[in-house]
Amino acid sequence: MITSQKIKEIAKNLGADLCGIASMDRFEGAPAQMDPRYIFPGAKSLIMLGYRIPRGSLRGIEEGTYFINYSSMGYAGINLVYGPVVLWHLNRILEDEGFETVPVANVNGAEALNPLTGNFRKGWSMSVDGEKPHPDILIHYRIAAFCAGLGEIGYSRLFLTPEFGPRNRFNLMLTAAPLEPDPIYEGPKLCDRCMLCVKNCTTGALSKTETQKVRVAGHDLEWAKINPYACETGIKGGENGEKNPFIGDFPHQYGYGRAVEGAAGCMRTCMVHLEERGVLKVKFSEPFRTEKPWTVDHKNEDKVAAIVQSQYIEKGKTENTEVYDTYNKTSNYGNKKNASVGTRLGRDEE
């Protein structure tokens, strides 16, 4: 009979950085639309798998010189490529032991709840029998990670682990295997309510005073109330594009909200703070932040770096920009120059 310890050893050999196990009774009291027991009523355990977001995947955004790496290597690649492979391999092992297991990748799209607002989507789907909740159930990953003993939820709402602070992504498995659950995390407190996440959020999406409280597995949890629409705007670089140096639309082929801002407050600043406090197990030879975070002013879009001026423009090595023009339709900070992007593409201005 496979044990929790064996599962963890295998999961880590397969590439997971973290593995915790929750018993299903820890989800008692969860809203039906978020209760994993409705996905697999026969599940006896939830296996939570965590993957570090490479600190280096945030480096290019911190420097202001390389943005695609966080969206790919720090976000979509983990959720859509690396994590699912670990799930498939671990699923094979549990099936060979005779336990049906549901591999739950960190993807969304069909939920009855809007993942951004948490509201029920009227007119979206129907219950298959009038009693069960509507498809798809939206598991609250951070609460599941808490139930599996992997760490705590910070004031920022991001999950904090003692290994990586806020640099985590998760997926999970619901299994018929009756595994020994991990204790709820009771280690050193990671979030010290410094409020740097609030202060450094590009759009002020996190409230300093208003909080949300929830009781999970006999524990009272509390985190900042969020303005989800402000968070969305922040992800794209802020209301005035102060965290987005692109003039046209940032390529969004990774489908993760054009995460050009690189989680300025909730992840990067929090990580810097936790590393400075020395509370994380994974330590680095050098501090992450060596200078004040940059901001750009889109009134200066014509400004070209001196090095580019001499190496390209003065040598005539230039061409007309071909960028998507959707940016101008979705951004609040497009100025008159931005409005000309459509013309540069030869498209009709709307």
Residues within the interface to ligand SF4 (CB under 6 A)? 154-156, 191-197, 270, 273
The string of DSSP codes covering 30-79 is: --GGG-GGGT-TT--EEEEEEEEPPGGGGHHHHHTS--HHHHIIIIIHII
Three-state DSSP at 163 gives coil
- Indicate the residue among 156 and 233 with the shorter CB distance to ligand SF4: 156
Of 151 and 241, CB closest to ligand SF4: 151
Helix residue spans in the chain (DSSP H): 4-14, 59-63, 68-71, 77, 83-96, 141-147, 196-200, 228-235, 270-277, 306-308, 326-330, 336-339, 341-344
What burial letters (b/e) apply to 123-148, b meaning 16+ CB within 10 Å? eeeeeeeeeebbbbbbbbbbbbbbbb
Q: Cβ closer to ligand SF4: 236 or 273?
A: 273
Give min distance, CB of 269 to ligand SF4, in A: 6
333 CA to centre of own chain: 25
| Shortest distance (Å) from residue 273 CB to ligand SF4 | 5
Q: How far is the CB of 45 from ligand SF4 (least distance, A)?
A: 29
Minimum CB distance to ligand SF4, residue 153 (Å): 9
**Between 209 and 332, whose beta carbon lies closer to ligand SF4?**
209
Closer CB to ligand SF4, residue 61 or residue 271? 271
Residues 166/181, Cβ–Cβ less than 8 Å: no
> Minimal distance in Å, beta carbon 195 to ligand SF4?
5
- Minimal distance in Å, beta carbon 155 to ligand SF4? 4
Query: Which one, 180 or 192, has the nearer CB to ligand SF4?
Result: 192
* CB-based closest residue to ligand SF4: 154
Cβ neighbours of residue 76 under 8 Å, at least 6 residues apart? 254, 255, 256
